[in-house]
Structure 1
Amino acid sequence: MRQVRVYPDSNAVAESTAARLLLAISDAVAVRGRADVVLTGGTVGIATLAAAAASPLVTSIDWTSVHVWWGDERFVAAGHSDRNELQAQEALLAHVPLPEGNIHRMGDSDSFASAEEAAASYEEEIAAAGTPAWDVLLLGLGPDAHVASLFPGHPVFTGPTAETHAVHDSPKPPPTRVSLGLASINRAREVWVVAAGSGKSDAVADSVRRTGVPGGAVDGTSRTLWLLDVAAATQI
């Protein structure tokens, strides 16, 4: 089921998404004893994590039962400012009692000789965790309607899907990345796409209308939730 929620501005998107995320994590732990959450980068994605860190709800969660994953990552050196996991660490993860072993970072170029090796290692890590049906999988949306590192017309998106992919020649720098594939993304119980700003409005409309762009190809098995500000929602 696809649902669209529209908020006044990007701050409201981040604040509301943060509250939803913390409640969803708490519910998953209560019902299943564990929560597996896939994080995203981007302006709104990281603002959401910062809002979560500041929320009073954050203290009600048993973080030892929470596992954190990523939808994509830039294949650069550890500690590089482009790394999604570094931004997430600064925004949220460093502020909650989350065991290091519960943080599943995608590989960096210091640890792996190629993006292919990093993608294969992440696939093995997912399998070792029982190939989770992600409780919540967060995605940002690019102005070209890309999600994770799946870009329109790129062979990784147009070709056979897999659990993880090495991405080369990304149209958005840096050019080399690791990404979950649609097979993994669409296993999530809930997929949430966050977007804000008028520059995303065409991409949002194309995605919600399922016009063949990556943003239109993602769906949770229980729910797909589009969390937008007014400017991003003007074309739907």
Structure 2
Amino acid sequence: MTNERRVLIHNDKSALAASIAARFLTKVVDLLDEQERVNIVLEGGRVALDVLTQINANPARDTVDWARVHFWWGDERYVPSGDADRNDAKARTALLDHIDVPESNIHPMAAPDSGLDLDAAAEAYAAELAEHAEGSIALPRFDITFLGVGPDGHTASLFPDHTQVLEKSAFVLPVTESPKPPSDRLTLTRPALNSSQRIWVEIAGAEKASSLGLALAGASYSEVPIAGIKGRRRTVFFVDKEAAAEVPENLIAQTY
């Protein structure tokens, strides 16, 4: 188990998304050769949407046995089902509606119209995760977890100096005072995210350079939440040149 942390720099946002999509398809095929199922955690940022669109457009898309792939979410806006602001709705439009993945393999977080309040929705998602647990903890084996980063260093819906970022035991939490609208959200916690085998962080834009630099320099995760996220095997930061302005030289694995 290598527990690597590396940065891959790409020329621009378009090259970034295409590269991640190609790597993802290759890795999923390889993983399915080694194990019965693969669990993917999706995020809802603008780069993530581009990546899903590129996966859908890639000729290798249908080489994946999607019936053995399960999709989860790192966080969700607590707005009605099908709302365009929901991360799962964006993922369906960009990719999931176009591939042969069973509906039972898609695991969205609950919406207000489910009849669950925010606290109950968090408990329900934790229970669903536990139903698919594959090890000693009540979580599936997350093979690849996609994460974005805000200019403030937040990831998923873990925001600087908010109580959720300090959680040490629960795997899913409600968020009621998000500094980004909407205020009500659901999020996986740091312990849940850090159970992932591989974390792929997608970052583009000069406004992200400072938070990325701080995270890689060892900033406190209570102040820069992405600094506290690390996969069990590997953590890769896929970034464009603008976002890479403050990346330590020794962490750069390859330049595109």
- Bin of the TM-score, shorter chain as denominator length: over 0.9
The reply to whether residue 69 of structure 1 matches residue 77 of structure 2 is no
Q: Distance in 2 between matches of 1:80 and 1:123?
A: 23
- With normalisation by structure 2, the TM-score equals 0.90
CA contact (8 A) 2:10 2:241 kept: yes
SS in structure 2 opposite 1:174? coil
Gap runs ≥5 in structure 2: 134-138, 248-256
Q: CA deviation at 1:159?
A: 4.2
Q: Where does residue 228 of structure 1 map in the other structure? A: 239
Q: C-alpha offsets along residues 132-156 of structure 1, whole Å, 9 cap, x if unaligned?
A: 1200000010000000000010111
CA contact (8 A) 1:161 1:182 kept: no
Q: Distance in 2 between matches of 1:115 and 1:192?
A: 28
Q: Where does residue 173 of structure 2 map in the other structure? A: 165
Gap runs ≥5 in structure 1: none
Q: Distance in 2 between matches of 1:128 and 1:107?
A: 16
Q: Where does residue 44 of structure 2 map in the other structure? A: 41
Query: Which of 8, 28, 41 pairs up with 1:5?
Result: 8
Q: Distance in 1 between matches of 2:24 and 2:130?
A: 24
Q: Distance in 1 between matches of 2:202 and 2:171?
A: 22
Query: Which of 15, 25, 29 pairs up with 2:28?
Result: 25
In the TM superposition, 1:49-88 aligns within 5 A as 49-88=52-91
The reply to whether residue 102 of structure 1 matches residue 105 of structure 2 is yes
CA contact (8 A) 2:168 2:190 kept: no
For 2:129, give the aligned amino acid.
I
Q: Where does residue 139 of structure 1 map in the other structure? A: 147
Q: Distance in 2 between matches of 1:210 and 1:134?
A: 25
Query: Which of 194, 205, 217 pairs up with 1:197?
Result: 205
SS in structure 2 opposite 1:69? strand
SS in structure 2 opposite 1:22? helix
- With normalisation by structure 1, the TM-score equals 0.98
The reply to whether residue 209 of structure 1 matches residue 217 of structure 2 is yes
Give the CA RMSD over aligned residues. Answer: 0.9
Q: Distance in 1 between matches of 2:44 and 2:33?
A: 27
For 2:229, give the aligned amino acid.
V
SS in structure 1 opposite 2:112? coil
State the identity as a percent.
38
Closer, same or farther in 2 for the Cα pair 1:32/1:24, shift >3 Å? same
CA contact (8 A) 2:21 2:51 kept: yes
Q: Distance in 2 between matches of 1:21 and 1:118?
A: 30
CA contact (8 A) 2:168 2:191 kept: no
The reply to whether residue 152 of structure 1 matches residue 167 of structure 2 is no
CA contact (8 A) 2:79 2:112 kept: yes
Q: C-alpha offsets along residues 3-54 of structure 1, whole Å, 9 cap, x if unaligned?
A: 1000001111111111111112112211011110000111100100000000
In the TM superposition, 1:109-148 aligns within 5 A as 109-130=112-133, 131-148=139-156
Q: Distance in 1 between matches of 2:81 and 2:97?
A: 16
CA contact (8 A) 1:24 1:136 kept: no
CA contact (8 A) 1:38 1:137 kept: yes
Q: Distance in 1 between matches of 2:218 and 2:184?
A: 27
The reply to whether residue 218 of structure 1 matches residue 229 of structure 2 is yes
